[in-house]
Amino acid sequence: MKKTMAFLLASLCMPTHGYSGNEWLRQAESSNGMRSATAMTYLKGIWEYEMVMGAWGLCSGAPSTAELGQVQKIMIKWLNKNPEKTHKHMIILYPMAVQELYGVTSLINEESGTCPRID
């Protein structure tokens, strides 16, 4: 029950316009548990979208066994290494980061729009 309430509260705190890399990074690196949880929830949505649907017809080669905490660390590291890009929205930055790190592949099935997962 506590986890459900925390998730709902974090969902309500998320901006509807989306985060820029700067906004997301401030939240993710915050010592405030609610802010960092909000950033993690937002990243989870982007991560799951890319895992299922791909990003603009391309899929990253990210392993399907990657965990959300690992993905968050990757994004924090990538954003800190690419400050000239952090003004862009996370929905654009996430695919840029994982595709740079893992490479890209075409959608395995363009009709269903699903990505092949690499273990």
Residue 85 domain-assigned (yes or no): yes
Between 82 and 33, residue with greater pLDDT: 82
CATH number of the domain where residue 94 is located: 1.10.890.40
Mean of pLDDT over the chain: 75
DSSP for 48-75? HHHHHH-BTTEEE--BTT--HHHHHHHH
> What pLDDT sits at residue 10?
52
> What pLDDT sits at residue 119?
46
Number of domains in the chain: 1
* Phi then psi dihedrals of residue 20, to 5 deg: -80, 170
Whether pLDDT at 115 is above 70: no
Residue 34 domain-assigned (yes or no): yes
Residue 115 domain-assigned (yes or no): no
Whether pLDDT at 107 is above 50: yes
The pTM assigned to this predicted structure is: 0.69
What is the band of 81 on the pLDDT scale with cuts at 50, 70, 90?
very high
Residue 73 domain-assigned (yes or no): yes
Residue 113 domain-assigned (yes or no): no
Residues 34 and 22: their CA atoms lie apart, in Å, by 17
- The mean pLDDT of 71-81, rounded to a whole number, is 92
Domain holding 33, by residue range, is: 2-106
Q: What is the pLDDT of residues 4-53, one digit of tens each?
A: 655 555 554 544 458 899 999 999 998 888 888 899 999 888 877 776 66
Whether pLDDT at 68 is above 80: yes
Residues 57 and 44: their CA atoms lie apart, in Å, by 20
